[in-house]
Structure 1
Amino acid sequence: MKVLVIGPGGREHAIVRSLLADPNVSEVHAAPGNAGISALVPTYAIDANDPDAVAALAVKLTVDLVVVGPEAPLAAGVSDAVRTAGIPVFGPSKAAAQLEASKAFAKEVMAEAGVPTAMARVAGTAEEAADALDTFGAPYVVKDDGLAAGKGVVVTNNRDEALAHAQSCFDAGGAVVIEEFLDGPEVSVFVLCDGSNTVALSPAQDFKRIFDNDEGPNTGGMGAYTPLEWAPEGLVQEVIDRVAQPTVNQMAHRGTPFVGVLFVGLALTSRGTRVIEFNVRFGDPETQAVLARLKTPLGGLLMAGAKGELDKVQPLRWTKDTAVAVVVAAENYPDTPRTGDRIRGLKKVDALDGVHVIHAGTKLDGEGKVVSAGGRVLAVVALGTDLVEARERAYDGVELVQLDGSQFRTDIGGKAARGQIRVAAPGTPAASKAKA
């Protein structure tokens, strides 16, 4: 089959790599791609958020499947345009993408489906926000209701800071969702959906804060690892039974069937498993780690999802290895990242045993050299026999990357490697709140 992957980042690079490893995939194309993707497959400089442009490219290339990576094209209706053109697409419709595009909508669907989640209130004014903050108390959790590329959430003990974030969302014409704080370690589970059926991938854990020890502002994600040896037995089945399948059923009942990835962000709290939020696409950087372990051919899985045939797929196969992804970010990320700097050492990283580089914010300059072009520039992904070895290999690779002013976290998977993450049984004192 011929596949077109839409998106410019690390998630899309990881998807392209996995598709190329599928013996049933004859061609892969990408739009717009990045420097790493363009080294592997043909790329096309179109606006990924333009439904008509994407559909026209898919028709021109006569592809058999379109895979939409980022949330913005999904919210813009790219999947709808491709489906209208008669081409199977793995990615939800504009209506179904509201599960990520609107936190308030997601809460409404969760309530209808009986999905366990944090108590929350929607606020559209400073007065409503202040009242909600006082209702739930500190730590305060304030989320931009709309898309914010993983950076629209503020968790703080400072009430003034929480109010200021809410006001910034109001000033931009939006609303906020204010929630109770959920204790316990966080987990990401990607669930493939075909409108009726669900298949879960291996859980991962990511790290949102820019600095070690979960300090500093939220980012799109600074690293991830999988599998989670400390996760409770039966977690994946619980996510399917209590979260993903009820949500897919409810979306179908609403007349907006969900086809694509339901990214379930969880907190394993002292009161049980709770959903933090939904996203409607593969997460970044968790995808880089999860797909590095997947042995089941990806193209066949995504096509089954697009065609409503996930009930026919065999149980997924995984390597026994652990995967770690460490993001290398540009100077001044996540504020106004510095771009245009040469990146050196990538071939040396790829030469390491069990290690590869995933490009995110990269492009080729006028001389054909790889330069930075975004906040999260790349990820170094490593496989190892256990988390300790995978971490060592990943950080060996990171040390070889040369990018002026770059930054990375040194503690991705650190606490788990030291056996320091505990999940509290419901009704007992909270488990560790930190992720590291």
Structure 2
Amino acid sequence: MEDVSIFWFRRDLRLEDNHGLFQALKELKNVLPLFIFDTNILDQLENKADARVEFIHSQITEIHNELSKKRSSLLIKTGDPETVFKKLLEEFNVSAVYTNRDYEPYANSRDEKVGRLLNQNKIPFQRFKDQLIFEPGEILNGSGEFYKVFTPFSKVWLSKFDPAKVEEYKPMHWKNLLQTSALKLPTLKEIGFKENDIAIPSKTADEEIISHYNETRNFPAKNGTSRLGIHLRFGTISVRKLVIKASELNATYLNELIWREFYMMILAFNPHVVDQAFKQAYDRIPWRNNEEEFTAWCEGKTGYPIVDAGMRELNTTGYMHNRVRMVTASFLSKHLLIDWRWGEAYFAEKLLDYELASNNGGWQWAAGTGTDAQPYFRVFNPSSQQEKFDKNWKYIKKWIPEINTDKYPKPIVDHKFARQRAIDTYKSALNQ
């Protein structure tokens, strides 16, 4: 059996400034890079033309090609990670496994299983911080507990953050890669998926957009956001480099990156938020869950133009502007009194940049059930949001060509009535 050490790629699909890969190459010899198409995740995807799977495939193809220039290769497996590792231990004499940490509940249970298997075989399992500046547990209040409110969390985050001390893990020690001829790269079809025509945003951080982010971010008709979410989600860019750039260019943009870390911390300390309200009293809300109204929301046919434009943008491109995400989420949970989990699951299916912690945090914020939430008695008025952020109807006309014609539906519910119904429903449930 060949002697190897393994670096396991997950949410860090890049060779540059990759902490775990850097450490593996620095400390180990015969490093075999590995990627596993995890069937526990893939089997849950109903759309076999899921653009995210195609994106992952394109990124590992890129890594595969780069490694071949270094006379190495990427080993790609499909299956349950624990089962894959059992087979690898039969195939290779593995001295150590290196990877970068992930903080989601499924990732934790997966790593526990793989870690147990490796431990039984006396193989070290080394995990490193790579997708955050501060991990869950690094920013705590004076009592040693996690912050439940964003503002004090962000103040401590900023006080601890020193750009000069953020390390860049420059790729080196390539000679320690396992020298091997190119291993077979499976096609999308071989892993059970097919191509999608949805365009993926560039992974180049546009400095002009970031510099003016605070002025442009709320207007969906403008190209005013970085669109880097999918690249942060799958680690095709370095969060360290992006945070340093944000700290130099725009405090508002940096604040958004801190929100990302806040929600990851909330999820890590409160895994129940995956399918329950953060504030558990809110699990008492009697949702109406009208399926016809949910379908109208999904299809962008509610009769509220800003909501419908957002849903159609999402369905067509896999993206929705962040301001509009808030409006559509609030509309579903408060105007229609449909369980926020229905909307969260729909976004999870459609969003290219879907990331559990942020998606869950954003939905619970909009529904009033989460940490730092929009209070239940504050209900977004879609018409005033539209007047404020798409005054000239540019965004709406782009996504709703039939606007102002008989083909566009009448409002599904009256705003004033829906607002009062939401407030009364929430108040009654919370006073039980």
- Tell me if both proteins adopt one fold, taking TM over 0.5 as the criterion: no
TM-score (norm 1): 0.28
User: What TM-score, normalized to structure 2?
Assistant: 0.28
Query: Larger Rg: 1 or 2?
Result: 2
